[in-house]
């Protein structure tokens, strides 16, 4: 079955709050928030280290993430919004503050292996559990697609969304957004020309 974006904002909130309130885990909460607000592939999220998101000299969350995408080899700069910054701070506090982590330590560090990130399979399990517990089918890629779908619904230019995703054609982006017949019907039924 094809991975779909999470269209319902109430369901997004339930998924986000699963690791915040229902089964508190700041690392897993950050994994989901980062997936939703950066549109990064899970493979790119798992390469991030604390030094990529936190300025240890200034003792603050960085305003931008800078990385090279593994799949495309392209450089990417992503603005960190307040929700993502908050999730990073919560996770940092849960780890004991900025003195307890190192800039070269993986952000999504495995609990089982020294200085390695969690695996893609483990990331999938974390995200799937939040989806299962909130009565929805969710995967790592659903988070990326959710970003694009809601940006499109907000009226963001499809060309900008295409650029964010580093897609080579709009057709790929269109399929990614999961535009449904319901979305097309809303356009037909809401247009008032006279």
d(CA 147, CA 152): 9
Q: What span, in angstroms and rounded, lies between the C-alpha atoms of 179 and 194?
A: 27
Catalytic residues: 41, 71, 141, 144, 167, 176
Planar angle of CA 52, 110, 5, nearest 5 degrees: 70
Of 120, 146, 125, 129, which is closest to residue 42 (Cα–Cα)?
A: 120
DSSP 106: B
Of 26, 39, 22, 42, the residue nearest 125 (C-alpha): 42
């Amino acid at each position: 079955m094809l991975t779909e974006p999470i269209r319902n904002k109430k369901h997004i909130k339930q998924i986000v709050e699963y690791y915040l309130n229902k089964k508190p885990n700041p690392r897993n909460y950050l994994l989901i928030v980062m997936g939703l607000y950066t549109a990064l592939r899970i493979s790119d999220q798992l390469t991030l280290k604390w030094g990529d998101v936190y300025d240890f000299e200034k003792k603050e969350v960085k305003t931008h993430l800078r990385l090279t995408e593994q799949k495309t080899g392209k450089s990417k700069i992503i603005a960190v919004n307040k929700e993502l910054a908050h999730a990073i701070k919560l996770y940092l506090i849960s780890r004991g503050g900025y003195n307890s982590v190192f800039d070269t330590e993986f952000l999504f560090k495995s609990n089982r292996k020294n200085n390695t990130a969690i695996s893609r399979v483990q990331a999938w399990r974390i995200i799937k559990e939040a989806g299962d517990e909130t009565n929805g089918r969710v995967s790592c890629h659903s988070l990326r697609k959710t970003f694009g779908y809601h940006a499109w619904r907000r009226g963001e230019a499809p060309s900008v969304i295409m650029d964010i995703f580093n897609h080579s054609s709009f057709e790929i982006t269109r399929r990614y957004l999961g535009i449904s017949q319901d979305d097309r019907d809303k356009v037909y039924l809401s247009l008032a020309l006279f």
